Structure 1
């Protein structure tokens, strides 16, 4: 039987985390394990997770490594220690409906191939599809690929967010882990695009999760200090990652620059955003710190090095 290990990254949202874990416990196809990465929460998120019946293990990090570091840690623990065939990742504000996993697995079985990533449909509290988590279509997909996906009620995608995606562990072993130094924003864009550069990814609308962000909107809405991560990480992505070829770099890079301009123009704090953007551009001149270095003094350090070495991504 295919082993599915869920990975949840948690940080100071214990009430939402409880709903996430309850949602995992209610799956009509039970998960085979749940790994919660507690990013050094200062509330009782870790204690709540340890007390929940669905949780297999809670890994307490030495500090908050953000979503990027948390998911890298969780994937490493899931595939090395728990021998996962598939890793189902989500944030602690993601509540899966009871058929979310079974719908992903059905699409995986019905598709005439082996998708590396299957993404759920994320909706907000009022049922609207969440713009923060809409997967990007695969540009230039052949008619055959489009038809194969459409035949099972899915569509071909080029990237996805970390809000409920099912990842084939073989892709993790082959291409390594997310870039932990991104900390937050665009880490999922870089990672899923890297895995899907030469592999198939599918958006599965029948798999539904609720993404309970505070407000409804895309990530560029009122970014504040996070605009630093948006700018720095996008520059890293388009200049240092293997996720995209030359044409895609121009396509997505151009769209990003246009979106930055729109974000600044619409902001009531343009000077502040420009300051964060300048700092992001400056810091993007230095390469991201390798994930095995970022997570070197954590409980998952050995697992991270094993995966990165297997993928040929160890630096130094």
Structure 2
């Protein structure tokens, strides 16, 4: 529902950052320029070793609450910590934000004006091209869907101008995702066990299965400062988490036994093809990922709904 959202609602921004102080500074500039000022900005600094502390220490123009962790908890661990802090502080809505995006001045105001429980800002790149990858269809029912993300906002719409005011989506990125505390009360917190990747997908599936709909808000503009390029690193350390956490989503949320078997099939195919693709490192990653995913079938204890 568009129009005036509840005027009395409070909102905390949760920002997770790690060794990207210059990008963080630009993102904080974007928050400071919001026409609807956030009531708190909770920054989780994942043990950065660059000049992140100096950047944060200089910000007297924002209501910052900074937590510096002893170790790098990953994006998932950082968002878990930040969302729990926002929930415990009693905020009505929580706006999740990465350090490599900059919200346009009216972004938060556009989101807060929509009276829905789960919303996302719509991302564009530095040229203004639409790059919103949230899935309009995320298929966990068909065993033939190799990739569950079947269509995305930017594959359906040529540009922002061709979008309706609201577009229903089935997954989110924790870049510009706005959620009400009532959702957290029902489905829990981001799961820190993911470390990076798919923690946002897992949360979105939990929210949708609790009856919440998720809407992309056309007029909430979020600008990505970097390109999407992580999906090409399947042989590196990120590849382990990409495989493992994709498998966890299937094992937790697959709608039938065949879908829950897909991780095993993917593992087999990657291993069999590795001699042809020169991908021994990728094969090792996928085998380790499958072994680890089996132990993460259930939501971790710390991510469960508050009691």
SS of residue matched to 1:285: helix
| SS state at 1:172 partner | helix
User: TM-score, normalization: structure 1?
Assistant: 0.76
Q: Does structure 1 retain, via aligned residues, the 8 Å contact 2:247–2:290?
A: yes
Displacement of 1:139 in angstroms is 6.9
- Residue aligning to 1:199: 212
Q: How much has 1:138 moved relative to structure 2?
A: 4.9
Q: 1:283 to 1:136 in 2, by over 3 A?
A: same
User: What residue is the counterpart of 1:116 in the other structure?
Assistant: 117
Corresponding position: 1:274 with 2:273: no
State the distance in 1 between where 2:228 and 2:196 align: 19
| Cα pair 2:44 2:81 within 8 Å, conserved | yes
**Out of 155, 159, 169, which is 1:157 matched to?**
169
Distance apart, 1:134 and its partner CA: 1.5
User: Does the 8 A contact of 2:184 with 2:305 survive in 1?
Assistant: no
Structural mapping, 1:174-189, within 5 Å: 174-189=186-201
User: What are the Cα deviations for residues 206-235 of structure 1, in whole angstroms up to 9, with x where unaligned?
Assistant: 11111222x345x42334321111111122
CA contact (8 A) 1:16 1:93 kept: yes
Secondary structure of 2:222 counterpart: strand
**1:5 partner SS:** strand
Question: How far does residue 9 in structure 1 lie from its aligned partner after superposition?
Answer: 0.2
Unaligned runs of 5+ in 2: 1-7, 140-161
Query: Matches of 2:288 and 2:181 in 1, distance apart?
Result: 36
Deviations along 1:26-61, one digit per CA (max 9) or x if unpaired, are 001111110000111111213322331214200111
CA RMSD of aligned residues (A): 3.0
2:223 match: 210
* Paired residue secondary structure (1:163): coil
Unaligned stretches of 5+ residues in structure 1: 110-114, 141-149, 294-303, 311-316
CA distance in 1, matches of 2:99, 2:300: 22
Alignment of 1:1-316 (within 5 A): 1-52=8-59, 53-81=61-89, 83-106=90-113, 108-109=114-115, 115-130=116-131, 133-138=132-137, 153-197=165-209, 198-213=211-226, 215-217=227-229, 219-223=230-234, 224-239=236-251, 241=252, 243=253, 245-246=255-256, 250=259, 257=266, 270-287=279-296, 308-310=305-307
Number of matched pairs: 270
Q: How does the TM-score come out when normalised to structure 2?
A: 0.78
Aligned-partner SS, 2:34: coil
How far the C-alpha of 1:77 sits from its partner, in A, is 0.4
8 Å Cα contact 2:94/2:180 also seen in 1: yes
| Rounded Cα–Cα distance in structure 1 between residues aligned with 2:277 and 2:222 | 33
Q: Secondary structure at the match of 1:203?
A: strand
Partner SS, residue 72 of structure 2? coil
Q: Pick closer, same or farther for the CA change 1:175–1:165 going to 2, 3 Å.
A: same
Provide, for residues 276-310 of structure 1, a one-character-per-residue CA deviation record: whole Å limited to 9, x for no partner.
111111222223797566xxxxxxxxxx7xx7442
- Contact 2:117 / 2:180 at 8 angstroms: preserved in 1? yes
Alpha-carbon separation, structure 2, partners of 1:138 and 1:67? 24
Inter-CA distance 33–235: structure 2 relative to 1 (3 Å threshold):
same
CA shift for structure 1 position 187: 1.0
